[in-house]
Every structure is written in structure tokens, then in C-alpha cells.
């Protein structure tokens, strides 16, 4: 945007604010008793009842010393990022309407600040730079909140509940640009999050330059994806996926984060999740089997060996890590280390006897204690996933509890510091709604409400141990998150819920109030260019039809419970359209348009649903359920191509490729048509692999089968071809024998087709015309 455009934007924004007039001012005063749209909610907000502050055209920002002037400049940046005007920093702080003051007596709490709004301006005071910065965040939100440019008179005393408020980003599975990392750090700052846990090494890639071991990035930062993405479409040759951060770039990110009062915690995974490092330096491994870095996901068996030379390698890596990252903590992983290779290795078993480890978990503990001692000698503290508890843990080690809160409870009870980040509530790669528009990920849903209502301090933890709960962290693993658009979809707005849990007093948190404040935060996201998830704010539709009667029952819902308005005549849905309150009885055909609204404004684009006699006969994979049975690992997977751009998405139970159409209306149905695709089976499941259930194939390449009520002799059994068509799909059609008028249909593929996997795209029931 050019300078002249910025000036015009500022004048327009301020002019619109001033047009609100006296009547609006009176209305705002009536609303002032409740906290404005701030996220996270401050610990104390008190409306003073005085005249509101109105931001004038020539408003200036200032500070009483160097630290305060620095905070003033940061406020100017924060306000512009949030969609407000670009203000000027005054040379004379006495003339400023928005003032920052460094005052050790203002609020004697870590990261805390005091903010006062009167008709003459906004004053922020704090005992240190961090408090001033968070006061600046709140001031910027106040001026871009319910009534932009107008702030009700109030006093705010604010301090965070927890000192660790984090986000973990996995850059190993998929690599993010420097610009995207900076964008996420900006968003973290706007949410008062203060810890960026950077997952830089894993089986699928080593993303951090280590000068002493250049092959870690020369070899370990590249892989050839499976399927179409791993082939150049023009030449058919292998196409690599590569990327790593130089030490200079890492220092740049660390400095950028520090300016926003965010510590950067690096993670070097030990002893598992080590394939990329072992491929680069095979002598580090515990197997003689040749390894490659590929695009498979899951739990790999490859571990670092236990040799003294390998431990020295890890210590040498840590020396360079310590030099790049000034934060006190270094994360060493410790999770999902399947010990099969150690069990099978005579060298590892001999080493275990030498050090007195009675089993492989104690051997892992021996390595963790060695690294913990090394880090302590270099003024660092070790942190790891909760598996590091299993073989005994050094007293100074900190535990990150991911498999639930039980590990954190145990660790805190034993006197260890803990960060709570359970997979049940804090994993952002899990889908956030049941919408068919969700991107790839784990369809086990972690809705916004579930993330918001997570309580990091277990009720059963003894009172004298509760100080060991440092805080909480959202984890963003990226196996299924290939691009920045999907990354931002997964993180926002759930990261706002995590931020409020980490900052606000437990007794003041209220999900209903959070939903009232959230729409203003969405406006700020749009100003920042954050592509937040639309699915929580859209309307989902479920229909059940009676084709013989020519009618259908339509259910509409918004995942967050915002008001839904709809039309049935093809016109756009507005706040004046009928409000949805109960299932709709409609004739066929009908076009439904629906949107969710807050204060008369749509929260997302309206969804359109065409309901016809034909549409009732078709279900794609996103509208089907899982077949009954024990083997279930449902994933929402991308196709393997194209290498760039959008890809098809499938819901697949990789433990048992079977889909369920519940209560299918088979009246008059004489045939069935199925479209199926085939994608690489790219999963390492370690000890879970035997849980896969294959129906034995009767022909060379397996069959497509359809069963009534998922039992008995298949109604349809068609042999599958050796390969799909050129577009990666096949269409199969067969007569459907007469059966009951309604039945649960199970659609499955037989046989073990690995390294590929058949997946259903859609199924259509056909009637005689």
C-alpha cells in the first residue's frame, strides 16, 4: 500500500468513528459495564463511568523514557496490524493522548501492566518492558474493538495466570518460509503468547544448519515424496522436497521473536524420530539396514544408537544449538522411541550391561540424564515429552505432557516443572469441526469449545505442587498440513482460546462470553492477513429424504451455536431472513442458502445446498461414517498429487478401508455406481501395524464389496484393476440385488494393497428410469 493510500485509509477510518455522534456515545456508556472485546480477557476490568476516549485525527503516542518510547512505537505497529490507523510517536510525551510509562510501582507482577482510559487518553504503566508491551497489545485491541476509535472509561489491572503460554510448530514434516514464521510470531504477540517451541528435526527432515555436520542439511533436509508429488510431471524424474534454516536465519527469527517478548525453544529429537539424521550419518543408527528419508508419516523404528561417539555427536549439535538459541530451555524429544532396534542390537545390549540399565527404557533415561547434565553445564535446562518419565528423570528436567494430563500430574507430584499440552485438547492438527470443508488432518475433532475449556492444573494435584504447572501449549504437527493456508486454518481461531486459557483467571473464563468477543478478533485477523478457519462460522446441512413422497427433512447448524438464518427460494440469506430453530420440511427440489450471523452481520459466506431426488441418492466420503469394528484410525488425507496446488481429499480408515452409509433408502434402486481413487499408503505404525484388518482378496487385485448391514454375503463384489485410470480414479458399476427398503450399506475394499490404498470418492444409487 502506498503512503497516500495509507493516509486516505487513516482519514476514512477516523472520520467514520467521529460520525457516530452523541447518541452512539450514550449507547457505548451503557455497554461499558462489561469488558470490551479483548482476547485474552484481562484479569481485572473496571468501568469507571467517565466520558469515553475518542481517538482524534491528530492523536499522538509517547513514552516517558527509552523503554516507554519503545513500547509506544510497538503500539503504533500493533494498532496498524489490527486494522487501525497509523499514528505518530510524539517527541514530547506530554502532548501524547496514548502514553506509556515505565513505573516499577505500577503493578508488581511478572508481565503485568496497568491501563487507564479517560476522556483525555489512554495511559499504560508497567514495571518492565514486557508489561508495557502487553499493555500496548490491549490498547490496540481497545481501539479496534466494538466501536473503533472510541473506548469507554475504565481501569485495567492485568497479569497472566501462567508464565508458559506456548505454540509448537513442526517445521520438519512440512517446511515454512521465513515470512510465514514471522507472521505466526506476530500473531502470537497479538495473543500474548510468549513461547515458540520450534520442532526442527524429525524422521522426515532435519531443518537446522549445524556447521560441524553439514550432511544433516545437505542430505537430511530433502526427501522424495511418494506418488505423483515425487515425480516431475514433465520429465518423470524424481522431484525432491527440501528446505532448512541457516544459522543466520535462525538468529534472525530468535531476534524477531525477542522483540515481541517471545522465547524460542528448539527441539532436537532423541533417541527416536531420528531417520533424517541417520540417513545423513549412517554410523549414528542402530541398524545396518539402508534407510531413506521419505514422505511417510507415523512412528518409525529408527533410533540413534547408544555409542559414546553418538552421544558426543549429540553434544556437539547441542553446542551449536545453545549458541543460536539464548532461551533457558532446550527440548530433546524423547517420545515414541520404539525400542525394537535396540532389542535386536548386540552392541546396544552390551552397552546396556556396561551402564547398568536393566531395560531399554532405562537406557533411554541414561541418555536423557547425560544430555541433561551437559545442558546444565552450559546454563540450560532440559525439557522433553512425557515419555522421559518412564526410565527415571533428573530432578531439574521439565516434562511436556502430551499423552494426556496424567504424565504432567505424575511429574508435578514428583517435583518436576510441567507444561500441559495434551493430545486431547491442544493438538491443532486435529480437525475443528465435522464440516466436509475441513482441510486434511485427523478427523477426531478438537472443537473451539474443547480447546477453550481445557484446564491445565489437574484438580487432584496437591496444592503445594501446583506451582510446578508452568502453563500450557498448543502443538501444530504438520504431517497433513502442506501449505500456509491450511496451517493458519488449523491454528486460528483456536489459538485465541489457548491464549485466553493461558492468560485469564480461571474463574473469569466463560465460553459464551468468549464467543461474544470473538467476531471482533476475526476482524483483526482479516486486517493481519490471517486466513483463519471459516468452517466454525459456516452452516452445515444434513438431509434425510423421502423420494417417494418428494420431501426431505433438512437440519441446519452452526458449530459454535451462532444464529442461523436461511432462505428456500434461492435468494441470499440475510439477518432479515427466517431464523432457523427446528428441522425444515421441504419439497423436492429445494435450494437452501444459510449463514451464521452475529449482531446482524454474517460471520462467513453463506453456504448453498441443492436438495433434489438425485442428490438424495449420492454420498461422498465426507458424508459417510465408519463401518463397525475394532480397527479404526480415521484420517482425512490428501491425494498424492499434483505436486503443487489443490488436491483431492478423502476420509479414510487406514486400519480398515470401509465406509458406512447409514439407513440408505433403497426403494426402487436397481444398481450402484462407485468412484474410487488410489493413494500411497504412507504410514509407519510400529507396534500398531497388526491392528490393520484386511478382508482377504479372492482375485488378483482385490475387490470392491458392498454389504447390507455390514454382514453376510456381499450384495456387490467387483474385481479391482491393477491400477486406476490416468487421472488416478476408477468408476465401477454393478446391479444391486433387491433387498430391504432401507439398509446400512458398508462399502469396502478387500486385500492388502500396500504400498497403495484404495479410497472411496463417492457412491451413487441408481434407479430404473
Give 537-565 pLDDT, tens digit per residue.
999 999 999 998 999 999 999 999 999 99
User: What pLDDT score does 556 carry?
Assistant: 98
All domains of the chain, ordered by start, with CATH?
3-158 (3.30.379.10), 164-528 (3.20.20.80), 538-612 (2.60.40), 618-767 (2.60.120.260)
Q: Which pLDDT value is given to residue 308?
A: 97
Q: What is the pLDDT of residues 277-292, one digit of tens each?
A: 999 999 999 999 999 9
Contact 10, 86 (CB under 8 A): yes
Helix axes 308-324, 360-377, angle to 10 degrees: 40
Side-chain-side CA neighbours of residue 336 (13 Å)? 19
Q: List, for the chain, all residue ranges whose pLDDT scores fall below the cut of 70.
A: 1-33, 630-631, 769
- The whole-number pLDDT of residue 23 equals 38
- To the query of whether residue 703 is one of the catalytic residues in this protein, the response is no
The answer to whether 630 is a known catalytic residue is: no
**CA–CA gap between residue 241 and residue 651 (Å, rounded):** 25
Q: Is 336 a catalytic residue?
A: yes
- Rounded Cα distance, 113 and 660, in Å: 55
Q: Residue 462: what pLDDT?
A: 97
Catalytic residue among 180, 307, 335, 336: 336
- List 174, 197, 261, 273, catalytic entry: 273
Distance CA 134, CA 126 (A): 9
On whether the CB atoms of residues 332 and 270 are closer than 8 A, the answer is yes
- Among the listed residues 52, 123, 170, 202, the single catalytic one is 202
**pLDDT at site 1:** 30
Strand 649-653 to 618-620 pairing: unpaired
Buried b (16+ CB within 10 A) or exposed e, 719-753: ebeeebeeebebebeeebeeeeeebbbbbbbbbeb
**pLDDT (0 to 100) of residue 93:** 80
What local confidence, expressed as pLDDT, does residue 631 receive? 67
pLDDT at 482: 94
Angle between helices 178-190 and 129-142 (to 10 degrees): 80
DSSP string of 674-698, one letter each residue: EEEEEEE--EE-GGGGGG---PPPS
Amino acid at each position: 500500500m502506498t503512503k497516500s493510500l495509507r493516509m486516505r485509509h487513516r482519514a476514512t477510518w477516523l472520520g467514520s468513528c467521529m460520525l457516530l455522534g452523541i447518541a452512539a456515545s450514550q449507547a457505548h456508556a451503557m455497554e461499558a459495564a462489561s469488558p470490551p472485546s479483548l482476547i485474552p480477557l484481562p484479569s481485572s476490568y473496571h468501568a469507571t463511568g467517565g466520558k469515553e476516549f475518542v481517538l482524534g485525527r491528530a492523536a499522538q503516542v509517547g513514552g516517558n523514557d527509552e523503554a516507554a518510547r519503545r513500547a509506544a512505537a510497538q503500539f503504533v505497529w500493533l494498532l496498524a496490524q489490527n486494522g487501525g490507523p497509523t499514528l505518530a510517536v510524539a517527541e514530547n510525551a506530554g502532548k501524547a493522548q496514548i502514553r506509556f510509562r515505565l513505573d516499577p510501582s505500577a503493578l508488581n507482577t511478572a508481565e503485568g501492566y496497568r491501563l487507564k482510559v479517560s476522556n483525555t487518553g489512554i495511559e499504560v504503566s508497567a514495571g518492565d518492558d514486557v508489561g508495557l508491551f502487553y499493555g500496548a497489545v490491549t490498547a490496540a485491541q481497545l481501539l479496534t474493538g466494538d466501536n473503533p476509535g472510541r473506548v469507554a472509561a475504565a481501569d485495567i489491572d492485568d497479569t497472566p495466570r501462567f508464565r508458559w503460554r506456548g505454540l509448537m510448530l513442526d517445521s520438519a514434516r512440512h517446511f515454512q518460509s521465513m515470512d510465514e514464521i514471522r507472521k505466526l510470531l506476530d500473531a502470537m504477540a497479538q495473543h500474548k503468547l510468549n513461547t515458540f517451541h520450534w520442532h526442527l528435526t524429525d524422521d522426515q527432515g532435519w531443518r537446522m544448519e549445524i556447521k560441524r555436520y553439514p550432511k544433516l542439511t545437505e542430505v537430511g533436509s530433502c526427501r522424495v515424496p511418494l506418488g505423483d508429488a515425487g515425480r516431475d510431471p514433465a520429465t518423470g524424474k524424481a522431484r525432491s522436497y527440501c528446505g532448512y534454516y541457516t544459522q543466520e536465519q535462525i538468529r534472525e527469527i530468535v531476534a524477531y521473536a525477542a522483540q515481541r517478548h517471545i522465547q524460542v525453544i528448539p527441539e532436537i529429537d532423541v533417541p527416536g524420530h531420528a531417520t533424517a539424521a541417520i540417513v545423513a550419518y549412517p554410523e549414528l543408527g542402530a541398524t545396518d539396514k539402508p534407510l531413506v528419508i521419505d514422505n511417510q508419516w507415523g512412528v518409525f523404528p529408527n533410533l540413534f544408537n547408544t555409542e559414546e561417539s553418538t552421544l558426543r555427536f549429540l553434544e556437539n549439535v547441542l553446542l551449536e544449538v545453545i549458541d543460536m538459541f539464548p532461551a533457558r530451555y532446550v527440548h530433546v524429544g524423547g517420545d515414541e522411541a520404539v525400542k525394537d532396534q535396540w532389542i535386536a542390537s548386540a552392541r546396544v545390549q552390551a552397552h546396556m550391561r556396561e551402564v547398568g540399565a536393566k531395560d531399554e527404557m532405562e537406557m533411554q533415561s541414561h541418555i536423557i540424564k547425560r544430555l541433561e547434565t551437559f545442558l546444565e553445564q552450559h546454563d540450560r535446562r532440559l525439557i522433553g515429552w512425557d515419555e522421559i518419565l518412564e526410565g527415571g528423570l533428573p530432578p531439574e528436567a521439565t516434562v511436556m505432557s502430551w499423552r494426556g494430563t496424567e504424565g504432567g500430574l505424575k511429574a508435578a507430584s514428583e517435583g518436576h516443572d510441567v507444561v500441559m499440552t495434551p493430545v486431547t485438547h491442544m493438538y491443532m492438527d486435529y480437525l475443528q469441526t465435522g464440516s466436509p470443508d475441513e482441510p486434511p488432518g485427523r478427523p477426531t475433532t478438537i472443537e473451539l469449545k474443547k480447546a477453550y475449556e481445557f484446564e491445565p492444573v489437574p484438580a487432584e494435584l496437591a496444592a503445594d505442587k501446583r506451582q510446578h504447572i508452568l502453563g500450557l501449549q498448543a502443538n501444530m504437527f504438520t504431517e497433513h498440513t502442506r501449505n500456509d493456508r491450511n496451517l493458519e486454518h488449523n491454528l486460528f481461531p483456536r489459538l485465541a482460546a489457548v491464549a485466553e486459557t493461558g492468560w485469564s483467571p480461571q474463574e473469569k473464563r466463560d465460553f459464551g462470553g468468549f464467543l461474544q468477543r470473538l467476531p471482533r478478533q476475526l476482524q483483526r485477523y482479516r486486517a493481519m492477513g490471517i486466513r483463519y478457519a471459516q468452517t466454525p462460522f459456516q452452516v452445515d446441512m444434513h438431509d434425510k429424504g423421502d423420494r417417494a413422497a418428494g420431501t426431505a427433512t433438512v437440519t441446519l447448524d452452526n458449530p459454535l451455536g451462532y444464529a442461523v438464518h436461511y432462505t428456500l427460494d434461492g435468494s441470499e440469506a440475510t439477518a432479515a431472513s427466517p431464523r432457523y430453530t427446528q428441522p425444515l420440511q421441504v419439497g423436492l427440489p429445494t435450494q437452501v442458502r444459510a449463514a451464521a450471523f452475529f449482531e446482524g452481520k454474517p460471520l462467513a459466506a453463506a453456504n448453498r445446498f441443492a436438495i433434489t431426488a438425485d442428490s438424495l441418492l449420492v454420498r461422498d466420503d465426507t458424508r459417510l461414517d465408519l463401518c463397525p469394528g475394532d480397527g479404526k484410525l480415521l484420517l482425512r488425507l490428501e491425494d498424492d498429487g499434483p505436486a503443487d496446488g489443490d488436491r483431492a481429499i478423502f476420509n479414510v480408515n487406514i486400519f480398515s478401508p470401509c465406509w458406512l452409509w447409514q439407513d440408505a433408502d433403497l426403494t426402487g434402486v436397481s444398481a450402484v455406481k462407485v468412484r474410487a481413487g488410489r493413494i500411497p499408503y504412507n504410514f509407519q505404525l510400529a507396534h500398531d501395524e497388526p491392528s490393520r484388518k484386511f478382508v482377504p482378496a479372492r482375485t488378483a487385485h482385490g475387490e470392491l464389496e458392498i454389504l447390507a448391514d455390514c454382514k453376510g454375503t456381499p450384495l456387490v463384489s467387483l474385481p479391482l484393476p491393477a491400477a486406476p485410470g490416468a487421472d488416478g480414479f476408477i468408476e465401477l458399476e454393478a446391479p444391486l440385488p433387491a433387498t430391504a427398503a432401507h439398509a446400512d450399506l458398508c462399502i469396502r475394499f478387500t486385500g492388502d494393497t500396500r504400498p497403495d490404498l484404495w479410497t472411496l470418492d463417492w457412491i451413487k444409487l441408481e434407479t430404473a428410469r
